[in-house]
Amino acid sequence: MQLLIDGVCKTDALLASESRVLKFLRCVPNNIGMTAISDPKVQRYRGANPMDWGLSGFVLIAESHISVHTFPDRNHINIDVFSCKEFNVEKVVEYAVRLFSIDVVTTNVLERGLEYIDGE
Amino acid sequence: MQLLIDGVCKTDALLASESRVLKFLRCVPNNIGMTAISDPKVQRYRGANPMDWGLSGFVLIAESHISVHTFPDRNHINIDVFSCKEFNVEKVVEYAVRLFSIDVVTTNVLERGLEYIDGE
Query: Residue A95: which CATH number?
Result: 3.60.90.10
Catalytic residue annotation of B: 64, 69, 84
Provide the β-strand partners of residue B41.
Answer: B58
Is B99's Cβ below 8 Å from some Cβ in A? Answer: no
- Distance, in angstroms, between A24 CA and closest chain B CA? 17
Give the mean pLDDT of B18-27: 97
| Domain assignment present for B2 | no
Q: Is residue B104 part of a domain?
A: yes
Q: Residue B109: inside a domain, yes or no?
A: yes
Element (H, E) at A94: helix A89-100
Helices (H), B41-100: 89-100
A45: which strand partners? A54
Check if A63 contacts B (Cβ < 8 Å): yes
**Band of pLDDT at residue A50, cut at 50, 70 and 90:** confident
- Do the Cβ atoms of A69 and B64 come within 8 Å? yes
Residue B59 lies in a domain: yes
How many A-B residue pairs are in contact by the CB < 8 A criterion? 104
Q: Is B64 contained in some domain? A: yes
DSSP collapsed to 3 states, A20-84: HHHHHHHHHHHHCCCCECCCCEEEEEECCCCCCEEEEEEEEECCEEEEEEEEHHHCEEEEEEECC
- Is B76 an 8 Å CB contact of chain A? yes
- Is residue B74 included in any domain, yes or no? yes
Look at residues A53, A65, A64, A66 and name the one whose alpha carbon lies nearest to residue A16: A53
Q: How many domains does chain B have?
A: 1
- The DSSP string of B66-77 is EEEEEEGGGTEE
Mean pLDDT of chain B: 90
The predicted model gives A38-61 an average pLDDT of 90
- Alpha-carbon span B68 to B23, nearest angstrom: 11
Report the pLDDT value the prediction gives residue A49, as an integer from 0 to 100.
83
A69 noted as active-site residue: yes
pLDDT at position B116 is 66
The Cα B96–Cα A69 span in angstroms is: 24
Q: What global pTM score does this model have? A: 0.92
- ipTM comes to 0.89
For residue B80, what are the domain limits?
7-116
The reply to whether B1 falls in a domain is: no
Least confident interval from A59-63, A115-119, B106-110: A115-119
Query: Which residues of A fall within a CB distance of 8 Å from B38?
Result: 41, 43
* A91: closest CA of chain B, how far (Å): 22
Distance from CA of A2 to the nearest CA of B (A): 11
